[in-house]
Amino acid sequence: MALNDFFSMGGYGAYVWSSYGICAVVLLLNVIQPIIRERRTIRELQKRFSLAKENKSDKHS
């Protein structure tokens, strides 16, 4: 079967697919980690500034 041939890679399937698998994992981590970090940074900054704003308006009242 053609699909089987594709996955067996002429007997080198374990080597080929494990290296592609490791590559996929490392690259995905490199996408996910910075996206999570960007969101966290924005959230933290917003929180910090809204706290600062509340303090400020407290003083005014």
Partner 1 sequence: MYLPKWLHQFGAPKYFYDLSLCISRWAGIICIICFICGLYGGLVLAPADYQQGDSFRIMYIHVPSAWMSLFVYMVMAIAGGIGLIWRIKLAEIVARSSAPIGASFTFLALVTGSIWGKPMWGTWWVWDARLTSELILLFLYLGYIALQSAFEDRRVAARAGAILALVGIVNIPIIHYSVEWWSTLHQGPTITKLDKPSIHLSMLIPLLFMVFAFKTFYISTLLIRVRSEILEYECNTSWVKQLLGINNGIK
Which residues bind to partner 1, rule: CB under 8 A? 6, 9-12, 15-16, 18-20, 22-23, 26-27, 29-31, 33-35, 37-38, 41-42, 45-46, 48-50, 53, 56-57
The gap from C-alpha 20 to its chain's centroid, in whole angstroms, comes to: 18
- State in angstroms the smallest separation of the CB of 54 from partner 1: 10
What Cα–Cα distance (Å) separates residue 11 from each residue in 3, 15, 33, 37?
Answer: 14, 9, 35, 41
- State in angstroms the smallest separation of the CB of 61 from partner 1: 13
Contact of 9 with 16, CB cutoff 8 Å: yes
- State in angstroms the smallest separation of the CB of 35 from partner 1: 6
